[in-house]
Amino acid sequence: MNRDYPLERVRNFGIIAHIDAGKTTVSERILFYTGSQHKIGEVHEGETTTDWMEQERERGITITAAAITCFWATTYLGEEGRKNKDNKYRFNIIDTPGHIDFTVEVKRSMRVLDAAVCVFDGVAGVEPQSETNWRYAEEAAVPRLCFINKLDRIGANFEKSYASILARLSKKAVRMQIPIGEEDKHEGQVDLLDMKAYKFEGHLGGNVVETEIPENLKEDAIKYRHELVERIVENDDEMMNKYLAGEEIPVAELKKILREAVIANKVFPVFCGSALKNKGVQLVLNAVVDYLPSPLDMPAIKGIDPRTGEEVERHPKDDEPFAALAFKLQADPFVGQLTFFRVYSGTIESGSYIYNASTGDKERLGRIVRLQADKREEVKKVFAGEIAAAVGLKDAKTSNTFCDENNPIILETIIFPEPVISLRIEPKTKADQERMGMALHRLSDEDPTFRVKGDPETGETVISGMGELHLDIIVDRMKREFNVEANVGAPQVAYKETITGTAEAETKYIKQTGGKGQYGHVKLNIKPLEPEVENKKKQKNIHREEGFEFIDSIKGGVIPSEFIPAVEKGVKEAMERGIVAGYKMVDVSCELTFGSYHDVDSSEIAYKIAASQAFQEAAKKARPVILEPIMKLEVVVPEQFMGDITGHLSSKRGLIEGMDDRAGLKVVKAKVPLSELFGYVTTLRSMTEGRGNANIEFDHYAIVPANVALSIVEARK
Ligand code: GDP
């Protein structure tokens, strides 16, 4: 069985937007224009309301799906040309989370998509979240187009929004269009490359009509075309010379160079329009075809061979060994649990077995589907570079790698941050109790930064995540999606402990009780873990994990090697229990330097106890401290509240890092300990008559000041 779309005609992209910028509306229009969706919120003749409601329901679900597939042929092919299947492109549109508390989700989605369309509000321009998301896209080197939306709104201003992109996101952005009219006069766009004007007629603007450039825009169009062409040709020496010699460069040539520049992250083309008023979305889709990469344009993906620990690569080729990444689990009301995956190399067929390199498990891959606006298309075989969803896989989790068992690879290497906040949660009724376990299990499968733990002492359930809002949303989803009502406790900060000095300790654990005795003797040297250790990772006798390193320097077998793992285990257990206030200890390098053994009495348990005691003793001497999560805070408020806001933050141990102007408002950037930020959003609202807004994101762990540490220790007693 062959692929129905050659790989160069596939585009895997995401739509990235600040909440409310119009991602949903843009997605709806895309589904409509790509033809897989003919009814947007409108009842047509001959349809019953129930039909329509069903479709609405389905549409609503599809819009939030992890990946939707649709097909597009560029509008300049004309009516007939567009019908030809060979002119069509397959778009896999990958959902990117809008909210900042899901940093990890955003990061992860950046790995799965090859490119992105960034949507901006034409009134507000670049907003805080646009900046954060842009930064993640930048880190992952994801090629981008910009779409300045909502140009029909009162106060919309293309030039200002464009300037905010240049100033705040990238100098590499360049206008591809200028709008015809703004606010209630917004009618369409002038394309600066082909120097034509476009308007949109018919149902939901479905007909793209080419017209003359309005007289009053001609001068601007010529000026900005020059600018655009210059920005394009500077990416190609030959073209640059031709251009400087005064030669007219054909549009097809310009497009070709621009495509290469966009894929290389050298240029970010900017488009504009109004999704709601049906102006311009089709032209963005043309641009997705023209400028965004196909999987073939992407570098090979790297992973680790789990057998050797060596780095290996996979290319987007059907004949390479199969490798795919599960990037999202999602419950679908029509077909059940879906595991969305992207195939990086090779192919996979429904009905075969799928090997999960991350867990070592094998599962039968029953059905595979692709979500389209109006149906779940059954897929027999998925090829390299494609995206699809497996139905009913039981063991696979988000970010697991599926691969050829004989050519194993692990793709996901994102290190997820440990949760920084936790709270107790209790079901309201007996019925809730049963569903709660299932709901929490599902939610934590989906989201690696969300954890669930039973507290063995109290029998209560503790959930933890990346911020107050993160946990709020989880509790809310439990209610809405799983119908579980729960009482939640006060949020608790996930403190940690570490050491700031070096120390040594020696312990002999000896017991003589009639029969067989116990004998364990170790000498440990501990010091703060330096980041450069990362480089030595592969060296022998060093075992490094997140925040812990164990070096075995025993010479001449003074402790037999079979007992060494027990020593490491004892140290780890002591670290789990902490030393200052009972919080987990991190970032410690522990070296086992000396010891002894007894032929008969030595045992694993004896070494474990000795190691644990020696570690505790050493840690006490190594200037132990408590660490607390520090959050990065961005507060946007009207100017008159500035003084109150900064004063309040300073009283909260906050460090003000800067202030900015943004669209007539003031922005305060600060770093503030999480423990001081509980309920901050509510406080902010009441301090600013509801007009202030805040983004809070985990930044790093820092040492707690001594006076605060004392009260933490007190509270734990
Ligand atoms: P999302 O939060 O990014 O998914 O944004 P939505 O698509 O849900 O849009 C947020 C609000 O803005 C909704 O009320 C939309 O109707 C509105 N909206 C979206 N696009 C436009 C547009 O082009 N013009 C105007 N005036 N409103 C828009």
Q: Which atom of ligand 1 is nearest to the CA of 18?
A: 3
Q: Does domain 421-486 fall into CATH 3.40.50.10710? A: no
Nearest to 494 by CA among 194, 698, 276, 228: 698
Question: Best mutation site among 23, 25, 96, 279 for ligand 1, i.e. most ligand atoms within 8 A of its Cβ?
Answer: 25
CA dist., res. 198 & res. 184, Å (int): 17
Number of C-beta neighbours around residue 4 at 10 A: 12
CA dist., res. 10 & res. 289, Å (int): 9
Model pLDDT, residue 88: 92
Tell me the CA–centroid distance for residue 26 and ligand 1, in Å: 8
Ligand 1 neighbourhood includes 150 CB (under 6 angstroms): yes
Q: What Cα–Cα distance (Å) separates residue 555 from each residue in 59, 144, 559, 594, 618? A: 68, 56, 8, 8, 21
Paired tokens of 68? 């939707």
CA dist., res. 341 & res. 398, Å (int): 9
Q: Is 461 helix (H, G, I), strand (E, B) or coil?
A: strand
Q: Which atom of ligand 1 is nearest to the CA of 27?
A: 7
CA dist., res. 356 & res. 281, Å (int): 39
Q: Is 617 helix (H, G, I), strand (E, B) or coil?
A: helix
Contact 350, 380 (CB under 8 A): yes
Helix, strand, coil abundance in the chain, percent, nearest 5: 35, 30, 35
DSSP state of 622: S
Contact 606, 523 (CB under 8 A): no
Model pLDDT, residue 413: 59
CA dist., res. 570 & res. 508, Å (int): 14
Nearest to 465 by CA among 652, 626, 674: 674
CA dist., res. 261 & res. 240, Å (int): 14
Q: Whose CA is nearest to atom 11 of ligand 1?
A: 20
Model pLDDT, residue 57: 52
Ligand 1 neighbourhood includes 276 CB (under 6 angstroms): yes
Nearest to 420 by CA among 473, 463, 476: 463
Contact 11, 260 (CB under 8 A): no
Q: What fold does the segment set 7-219+268-297 form as a domain?
A: Rossmann fold (3.40.50)
Q: Which atom of ligand 1 is nearest to the CA of 25?
A: 7
Tell me the CA–centroid distance for residue 182 and ligand 1, in Å: 16
Tell me the CA–centroid distance for residue 276 and ligand 1, in Å: 7
CA dist., res. 682 & res. 671, Å (int): 18
Sequence-ordered list of residues with C-beta below 8 angstroms from that of 178, at least 6 positions apart, any chain: 158, 189, 190, 192, 217, 220, 221, 224, 272
Ligand 1 neighbourhood includes 24 CB (under 6 angstroms): yes
Model pLDDT, residue 104: 65
Residue 124 one-letter amino acid: A
Tell me the CA–centroid distance for residue 170 and ligand 1, in Å: 24
Backbone angles phi, psi at 256, to 5 degrees: -65, -45
CA dist., res. 522 & res. 592, Å (int): 7
Tokens 């006798």 locate to 541
* Domain boundaries along the sequence of the chain: 7-219+268-297, 301-411, 421-486, 497-622, 628-716
The chain-wide mean pLDDT, for the chain, equals 87
421-486 shares its CATH topology with 628-716: yes
Chain centroid to CA 70: how far?
23
CATH class of 301-411: mainly beta
Q: Does domain 497-622 fall into CATH 3.20.20.70? A: no
Q: What fold does the segment set 628-716 form as a domain?
A: Alpha-Beta Plaits (3.30.70)
Ligand 1 neighbourhood includes 622 CB (under 6 angstroms): no
The length of the chain is 717
Tell me the CA–centroid distance for residue 98 and ligand 1, in Å: 14
Using a 10 angstrom Cβ sphere, with 0-12 exposed, 13-18 middle and 19 or more buried, the burial of residue 442 is: middle
For 523, half-sphere exposure in the C-beta direction (CA atoms, 13 angstrom radius) is: 10
Low-confidence ranges of the chain (pLDDT < 70): 36-64, 97-105, 412-417, 456-457, 531-546, 663
Ligand 1 neighbourhood includes 275 CB (under 6 angstroms): yes
